[in-house]
Chain A
Amino acid sequence: MSGFFSRQRAVAKPNYNRWMVPPAALAVHLCIGQAYAFSVFNSPLTRIIGITESAPDDWKLTSLGWIFSLAIVFLGLSAAFGGKWLEKVGPRLTMFVAACCFGGGFLVAALGVYLHQIWIVYLGYGVIGGVGLGLGYVSPVSTLIKWFPNRRGMATGMAIMGFGGGAMIGAPLSILLMEHFQSASSVGVMETFIIMGCVYFLSMLIGSFTIRTPPENWQPKGWKPPIVQNDMISQHHVHIDQVLKTPQFYLLWLVLCLNVTAGIGVLGQASVMIQEIFKGTISAAAAAGFVGLLSLFNMGGRFFWSSASDFIGRKNTYFIFFVFGIALYSSVPTIGASGNMGLFILLYALILSMYGGVFSTIPAYLADIFGTKYVGGIHGRLLTAWATAGVLGPVLINYIREFQIEQGVAKADAYSVTMYIMAGLLSLGFICNALIRPVHEKHHIKQEDLDEIDGIFPRSDANESEQTLTGKK
């Protein structure tokens, strides 16, 4: 591709400051993170016709639940299938397409609300918006890792922290806009969708236009790759397709899936759980505050743990997630039974900080194992584990809980078995993490083939980059 969106045009000029890249990535992730706040639209969407209360022809909550589920499924699919395309066209075009899809998805969904056709909302926010989510999520990852080879975890942590923070902006913004636009004849959702679609499109566009890729073989000024090589940080690259032939990919897939299944499971029931365990002490408003507190720890953990992984190593960080996770999940029933609410909240906060850390540390883990060349695309493929966990986690939790209640277990006690099962899942994850070894050299790309594969980084581009770019920060 030539023109503004070509790979060459996105390569940084000599004076470019690499610290411009994290806000460019954040400009995208803070937008797409809105997805986690979509539930604020659920209640108003059930009153589109009735306005003050649901009319018989209004949408039901069960139908609306599919909007978010579809978005997460298409996030996983687009990240998996769009990853290779991302490596080919670069982050600028990918972010631009993500902006069109995510912003456009809102506008299509607004049309669905206007016509009161649920399938148009599914198509808009669920399918088109979901594709924007997936492409937007993976697009800045490999660029950040290449700009910050010495702080891979911190760099990706900043962007993925934005995804956690996006919901914190999206939820109050949506509520403010709906309150502004609501009238006797409208709940204000359609107008809110239009405004948010435009705002998110523009913000993601700014991210797309400002992101720059480093020239080939660029290194930070004064930084040299460590002389003492760490076996768990590869100096080689594995091709995006070859990765699927390595056991390490599937082990990492399981590590992510098991960890996220356990995390989503407890996150989804946090509000109900604290109200049932501390019945009479915790109101619905306080439970909502509890969920808010958890989302703060979820976001903070994304930056903290991924930054810490730069110092303690990726594998060790995941060992911490699993060992502490098993201990914390197993302690929840006992602490709940003891009535110590402060400790209960602290346990949950730590669990959620590690849940966030799992997401933000995985790109750096992938870069360590498979090299940095195709890490964006590989990350996209690994995110199918997230989509799987997104379905598996809530189903598992709800099924176990319902089964327990049917067996006569008190509601407040029905969580104990669930937490122990989640701790069991984490034990499996621990084993998978322990089995991860450096990739066999037969999977490495040979140096002479590196720039030629798939036409990615053709020689002419690389030479041009070397001639025009000598700047180091």
Chain B
Amino acid sequence: MKNSRTHSVADLLLLLLFWLYVSVPLAWGIWSTLQKALTLFN
């Protein structure tokens, strides 16, 4: 049971890291684009 729970936490951590791996660059790209887009309203 303990092993199973540890495994499950490790899996969730891996899942979180994997999502961060793709979402951080995407968020940076969106932020860069948004900054550029804001010049339209200045």
A245-253, A284-292, A410-418: which one contacts chain B? Answer: A284-292
Q: Tell me which of A162, A167, A293 contacts B40 (CB under 8 A).
A: A293
Judged by a CB distance under 8 angstroms, whether B6 is at the interface is no
Q: Are B33 and A23 touching (Cβ within 8 A)? A: no
Judged by a CB distance under 8 angstroms, whether A264 is at the interface is no
Expressed in whole angstroms, the minimum distance between the Cβ of B28 and any Cβ of chain A is 7
Q: Are B32 and A289 touching (Cβ within 8 A)? A: no
Expressed in whole angstroms, the minimum distance between the Cβ of B26 and any Cβ of chain A is 5
* Given known A-B contacts A20-B18, A210-B18, A30 and B25 have beta carbons under 8 A apart: yes
Q: Are A285 and B39 touching (Cβ within 8 A)? A: yes
Q: Tell me which of B12, B14, B15, B40 contacts A345 (CB under 8 A).
A: B40
* Given known A-B contacts A30-B22, A286-B39, A345-B40, A172 and B29 have beta carbons under 8 A apart: yes
Judged by a CB distance under 8 angstroms, whether B30 is at the interface is yes
- The residues of B that contact A166 with a CB separation of less than 8 Å are 29
Expressed in whole angstroms, the minimum distance between the Cβ of A30 and any Cβ of chain B is 6
A interface residues, tally (CB under 8 Å): 33
Size category, B interface: 20 to 34
| Most chain A beta-carbon contacts within 10 A, residue among B15, B32, B36, B41 | B36
C-alpha gap A210/B22 in the complex (Å): 13
Q: Are B18 and A296 touching (Cβ within 8 A)? A: no
Expressed in whole angstroms, the minimum distance between the Cβ of A388 and any Cβ of chain B is 28
C-alpha gap A244/B34 in the complex (Å): 42
- The residues of A that contact B40 with a CB separation of less than 8 Å are 282, 286-287, 289-290, 292-293, 345
Judged by a CB distance under 8 angstroms, whether A351 is at the interface is no
- The residues of A that contact B19 with a CB separation of less than 8 Å are 19, 23
Q: Are B22 and A23 touching (Cβ within 8 A)? A: yes
* Given known A-B contacts A20-B15, A168-B26, A169-B26, A296 and B42 have beta carbons under 8 A apart: no
Q: Are A168 and B32 touching (Cβ within 8 A)? A: yes
Q: What is the 8 Å Cβ interface bit string for chain A, positions 288-329, against chain B (1 contact, 0 not)?
A: 111011011001000000000000000000000000000000
Expressed in whole angstroms, the minimum distance between the Cβ of B15 and any Cβ of chain A is 6
Judged by a CB distance under 8 angstroms, whether B37 is at the interface is yes
- 19 A-B contact pairs sorted by A residue (CB < 8 Å): A15-B7, A15-B11, A17-B12, A19-B15, A20-B14, A23-B18, A26-B22, A30-B22, A165-B29, A166-B29, A168-B29, A169-B28, A171-B32, A206-B21, A285-B39, A286-B40, A289-B39, A295-B33, A296-B30
Known: A26-B22, A27-B22. 14 other contacts (CB 8 A): A15-B11, A20-B18, A23-B19, A24-B18, A27-B21, A165-B30, A168-B26, A210-B18, A286-B42, A287-B40, A289-B38, A289-B39, A289-B40, A292-B33
